[in-house]
Amino acid sequence: MIERTATRVWVFFYGSYINRDVLAEAGLAPGRWEVACAAGFELVIAPRANLIRSTRDTVWGINATATHDELTRLYTEHAYGQLGQLYLPEAIVTCTPDGTLRPVLTYLCPAMAPAPTDPAYVERIAGPARSLGFPDWYVGHIEGFAR
């Protein structure tokens, strides 16, 4: 049996996982938490949040710390088991508002079938985005998926 350590790693959340209530429902309480952005991606929500590579866009979200066991549970039991979407880890670099660059993991869904978006799901992202101080243009982008 492989013994896992409780070492925390940095992860970038960009969808409903920027909402502490959603993370709590999924059984995750991040060790550390900071606002950050990642260049080279566009946020899409159809039906769930996902990142698409883009040379002209930037996404906003949260860098947080979690153990690998917590992330495995979050993305297999919650994202896949309850939400029906398979997200896979990828290494990226984020930037905090003070200019700190941080290597992080993020999770992308490589094959999400487009479907209508639930406005309540969008608000679970837009509400925290507003309260965390994400740029107004970005909050507007998120809210646009509810229309």
Q: How confident is the model at residue 114 (pLDDT cuts 50, 70, 90)?
A: confident
Q: How confident is the model at residue 126 (pLDDT cuts 50, 70, 90)?
A: very high
Domain 11-146 has CATH 3.40.1280.10: no
Mean pLDDT across 123-133: 97
**pLDDT of 82 above 70:** no
State the pLDDT at residue 102: 98
Q: What is the pLDDT of residues 28-74, one digit of tens each?
A: 999 899 999 999 999 999 999 999 999 999 999 999 999 999 998 88
Angle, alpha carbons 102-103-104 (nearest 5°): 110
State the pLDDT at residue 45: 96
Cα–Cα distance, 60 to 41 (Å, whole number)? 10
Burial of 22-58, coded b for 16+ CB within 10 Å and e otherwise, reads bbeebebebeeebbbbbeebebbbebbbbbeeeeeee
Q: How confident is the model at residue 81 (pLDDT cuts 50, 70, 90)?
A: low
Q: In this structure, what token pair is assigned to residue 72? A: 């495995």
Q: How confident is the model at residue 121 (pLDDT cuts 50, 70, 90)?
A: very high
